[in-house]
Amino acid sequence: MATHFPKGFLWGGATAANQYEGAWQADGKGDSTADHLLGGSVTQPRRFAEDAEQPGYFPAHVASDGYHHTEADIKLMADMGFSVYRLSIAWTRLFPKGDEREPNQAGLDYYRRVFELCRQNGIEPLVTLSHFELPYHLTAAYGGWGDRRLIDFYVHYATTVLREYAGLVRYWITFNEINIGFLLGSYLSLGLPVPDGAVPISTTQTDAALQASLTALHHQLVASAKVVQIAHALDPANQVGCMIAGMVAYPLTAAPADVLLAQRANELNNFYCGDVQVRGHYPAMAKRYWQEHDIQLTVTDADAAVLAAGTVDFYSFSYYSSGTETADADKRELTGNMSVGVKNPYLTYSEWGWSTDPTGLRWYLNTLTSRYELPLMVVENGLGAVDTLTAAGTIEDDYRIAYLREHIQAMSDAIADGVNLIGYTIWGWVDLVSAGTGQMAKRYGVVYVDRDDTGQGTFRRLPKKSYAWYKRVIASNGADLA
């Protein structure tokens, strides 16, 4: 089948600071919400600890030690031919508590070095300002994004970043998977306080919990819109996007009730935040949802004006798998790591409960194009799996190659359908910590990192079979998928 990717298409990979950098107290960095999460598994929820220095394995403290492997890792990306690298800035490297007025110079210097190295190697930085790592002080002292004051703290941080790296970075994302907070987990995304204990990824929330999550989410949406306006004012060349967790839902059966439920799930999962950030106002379905759950949001006239004026330039999203929905409540469950719904009998599933569904990616791309007519980027896509070193010291990850090949072909088909897709960054190009479980064993990278779930390992980097394959894909602009 022919492939279709435009000239100048952005090929690359992605990481997040709290899952990749480690060095959690290096050079003046403060602790983030991620630094207070212990490791878990698909069957054992991660646990929150108020004391991040207590005994136990806190995966974000060391992660893949990217902080100390910066130059070598960028060389690996350059060798693959990356034209874009999606990464996040750790807010606490710049403002350790989050509410200071003056930034930490060592943090500013670190990211300047990263961006300059990217530029020297022909790599465009695509920078996420907030990726599941709120300064912990803002949770402990203010209650996380439930406090409206966080809007100003975030805007101050983001403005500092935009000014500091003007000319080095032109693609920005305000919040990672902004819809996750009210869908699956309010601590991970919104920094809402939790007691010492489990931090489950839940498929349902009480109305009281929804009230807290949606209030916090509104504050994030307002903050995002403000930063979009600031970015455009500082440099008209800045392009700012939203980032949504793309969760495609199919009806389990052709029963009208299932079809309607799947439609509503897609609206809530994907378009609640997308509509606000792209169109500049809450959609009608959101207001109905508030009524059904007795949600009272304070949306001031000033908020509404900010949302209307701060719409994004592009729409980026993660896509890993699809789910199904049914009106039979007994069948709806958490099928795996951050995967909700009922298993689809037509798809295969990983040991973490995620389906493989490249057709769902094509469907989603076409649906977004029909709804928004904006440039699109797939900024997270990949297969988490257990990788085994052979006796020869190689990793023959043909399963990952197959997954990526099918999804890249689906993107090509969507482009042929008329989708304006401008970039693709695999998650994560190098092995890193899983956000949902805190595991290293759930490996995504085309580069292996010698690190395990007990915190042991040398951090040695080893390109997998998929590394050479992805290098050929990039060199051919997606034409060579063999």
Angle between helical axes of 398-417 and 358-372 (0-180°, round to 10): 30
Confidence of residue 186 (pLDDT cuts 50, 70, 90): confident
Note whether 20 and 435 are within 8 A (CB).
no
Tokens standing for residue 362: 């094509």
Mean predicted lDDT score pLDDT of the chain: 93
Indicate the range of 189-203, 268-282, 340-354 predicted with least confidence: 189-203
pLDDT, tens digit (0-9, with 9 covering 90-100), for 253-299 = 999 999 999 999 899 888 899 999 999 999 999 999 999 999 999 99
Element (H, E) at 47: strand 47-48
Residue 317 has pLDDT above 90, yes or no: yes
Note whether 428 and 375 are within 8 A (CB).
no
Residue 379 main-chain phi, psi, to 5 deg: -105, 0
Tell me the C-alpha to C-alpha distance, in Å, between residue 77 and each of 161, 293, 427: 24, 47, 13
pLDDT, tens digit (0-9, with 9 covering 90-100), for 139-151 = 999 999 999 999 9
d(CA 428, CA 442): 11
Active site residues: 177, 380
Domain chopping of the chain, boundaries:
10-475
Q: Give the CATH H-level superfamily of domain 10-475.
A: Glycosidases (3.20.20.80)
Instruction: Please report, to the nearest 10 degrees, the dihedral formed by the alpha carbons of residues 11, 17, 19, 25 taken in order.
Output: 160
- Identify the pLDDT of residue 405: 98
Note whether 244 and 274 are within 8 A (CB).
yes
d(CA 422, CA 78): 19
Span 190-215, average pLDDT: 78
d(CA 322, CA 319): 8
- Identify the pLDDT of residue 339: 57
Note whether 460 and 64 are within 8 A (CB).
no
Strands 171-173 and 248-251: unpaired
d(CA 79, CA 99): 39
